[in-house]
Amino acid sequence: MDTGSVTYTNENGIAHIKFQHPKSNSLPSSLLKQLADTIRDAGADENAKVIILESEGEKTFCAGASFDELLGIDNFEDGYNFFSGFAGVINEMRKCPKFIIGRIQGKAVGGGVGLIAACDYAIAHNSSSIRLSEFALGIGPFVIGPAVERKIGKAAFAQFSMDIDWYDAQWAYNRGLYAKVFATHGELDQAIEELAHLLAESSLEATAELKAMYWEGTENWETLLSKRAEISGKLVLSDFTKNYIRKFKNK
């Protein structure tokens, strides 16, 4: 069974972190750990000046939490550990001293939106609509909430998380989640290449200081996101959540 993978490459100071999973680039706990570890290692790589976070394929950037794994969780500890995986990735992205550019080539759901929000600069294809589906599952977007709210604001986050509708790339751009949106994948890649080369030529010391300034006020996220993981870790055990996932998988 393909459990997904994370690959790391670095050429001329531009590092690429790419993840894939056969089920729409969803994220089981093993993949979350690999992703967090790779981001931390990239931040420590003296030969990496800038990081591009991307996924395989064209249709879906990330489908969020693995429903297969969620359905199998039957105790609080496993639930907490699973959602702590998302907390770990977001915190590694936050603490990384290099700028992280998100290549958003397709749709994103739930935790995938959290990854986008934790990028320092996200560039998207115009098919990259987004959805927060956690409330429908009965678990809520608790862990990724601080990252998403930081980018789009509290009012938009409340709207986005309550009505669980799909929102298009233009909506995400207008609210600051996407920095730029392009009509073709060629234009998307060209814009990412130009920005990556610009940042790769910049001072690493200045980059680290500037990134620290951008993320001021998030120093408590190690504790905050852990507490949020506790909430989702409890809620995922409910009959409501289990029944929702079973119905979804049987569609």
Structure tokens, 218: 């998030």
Q: What is the CATH number of the domain that holds 123?
A: 3.90.226.10
Give the helix/strand (H/E) hosting 230: helix 221-235
Residue corresponding to tokens 């680039």: 25
Give the integer Cα–Cα distance in Å for 134 and 187.
Answer: 32
Can you name the residues that pair with 99 across neighbouring β-strands?
50
Are 88 and 111 in contact, with CB atoms under 8 Å apart? Answer: no
Condensed to tens digits (0 to 9), the pLDDT of residues 44-72 reads 999 999 999 999 998 999 999 999 999 99
Q: Which amino acid is at 243?
A: N
Length of the chain: 251
Tell me whether residue 121 is in a domain.
yes
Tell me whether residue 223 is in a domain.
no
| Cβ count within 10 A of residue 27 | 29
Give the integer Cα–Cα distance in Å for 109 and 55.
Answer: 14
Average predicted confidence (pLDDT) for the chain: 96
Tell me whether residue 113 is in a domain.
yes
Instruction: Please count the structural domains in the chain.
Output: 1
Tell me the Ramachandran region of residue 25: left when phi exceeds 0, alpha when psi lies from -120 to 50, beta otherwise: left
Q: How confident is the model at residue 1 (pLDDT cuts 50, 70, 90)?
A: low
Q: What share of the chain is helix, strand, coil (3-state, %, to 5)?
A: 50, 20, 30
Tell me whether residue 230 is in a domain.
no
Domain of 83, in residue numbers: 5-200
64-68, 238-242, 244-248: which has the minimum mean pLDDT? 244-248
Secondary structure of residue 122 in the 3-state scheme: strand
Phi, psi of 158 (to 5 degrees): -60, -45
Tell me whether residue 125 is in a domain.
yes
Give the integer Cα–Cα distance in Å for 175 and 156.
Answer: 8
Condensed to tens digits (0 to 9), the pLDDT of residues 90-134 reads 999 999 999 999 999 999 999 999 999 999 999 999 999 999 999
Q: How does 139-153 read in b/e, with b if 16+ C-beta sit within 10 Å?
A: bbbbbbbbbbbbbbe
Nearest Cα to Cα of residue 18 among 59, 62, 48, 49: 62
Q: What is the pTM of this model?
A: 0.96
Question: Distance from CA of residue 215 to its chain's centroid?
Answer: 16
Tell me whether residue 219 is in a domain.
no
Tell me whether residue 87 is in a domain.
yes
Sign of CA dihedral 111, 117, 122, 128: positive
Question: Distance from CA of residue 66 to its chain's centroid?
Answer: 14
Tell me whether residue 246 is in a domain.
no
pLDDT of residue 245: 87
Mean pLDDT of 78-95: 98
Are 104 and 124 in contact, with CB atoms under 8 Å apart? Answer: yes
